[in-house]
Amino acid sequence: MSPTRQRRLDELQARIRLCRQCLNAGYDIYPRPIFSGGLSSRIMLIGQAPGITEKEAGRPFNAGSGTRLFQWLAQAGIDETWYRETQYLTAVTKCYPGRAKSGNGDRVPSRTEQELCRPFLNAEITLVNPQLILPVGRLAIGLFFPSNQPLNEIIGTEKLVDGRWMVPLPHSSGASRWHQTPENRQHIQEAIQLIAKRFQEIKF
């Protein structure tokens, strides 16, 4: 492991932890960036943004959405404890965005917030250099797949981008209805099979 890369990742993560850009831009976020992982990670999960339980626990993919997500990954042979201790978890925007005005769930981060946080995600990907990226939910999927393509045409497919496999998964929270229909569950099973295949190929 290169000491220079390690130092650059440490510096990047320190900058992320201190970041207040969205707050300074007038967004009422909770300024506590939530992510975890290090240089030896070979898999990177990218979610939309921390939810209220992630904000409270300070842990990515916590509670319901994490439970369902790691049930899917367990079917691909990936153990949650092992994953959390050794692999990377991050998000399109890393601070809790607060409740939606409608009162229905958490606010979807604005385009401006996404753009403010994007350089951090780009730098995480470049420095960590994962072999497999799992974008979870529409916002994260939209970074790598056409944003106007329906989810049922994307989930269950994979794509090689800059030498890394991308296997998208839908938002795993209970508030999302997408993963609850039999047809879409079949797409998720296809995604799980792809993840299992790529996981087997990775040399840890």
Residues that bind ligand SF4 (CB under 6 A): 16, 19-22, 29, 31, 33, 93-95, 113, 116-117, 120
Token reading at 167:
């296997």
- By beta-carbon proximity to ligand SF4, the closer residue of 76 and 95 is 95
Q: How far is the CB of 23 from ligand SF4 (least distance, A)?
A: 6
Q: How far is the CB of 12 from ligand SF4 (least distance, A)?
A: 11
Token reading at 148:
């106007």
Of 161, 173, 100, residue with least CA distance to 131: 161
Q: How far is the CB of 34 from ligand SF4 (least distance, A)?
A: 9
- By beta-carbon proximity to ligand SF4, the closer residue of 88 and 165 is 88
Q: How far is the CB of 120 from ligand SF4 (least distance, A)?
A: 6
Q: What is the DSSP string of 51-116?
A: -HHHHHHT-TT-HHHHHHHHHHHHHTT--HHHHHHHSEEEESS-SB--B-TTSSSBPPPPHHHHHH
Backbone Cα Rg of the chain: 16
- By beta-carbon proximity to ligand SF4, the closer residue of 19 and 196 is 19
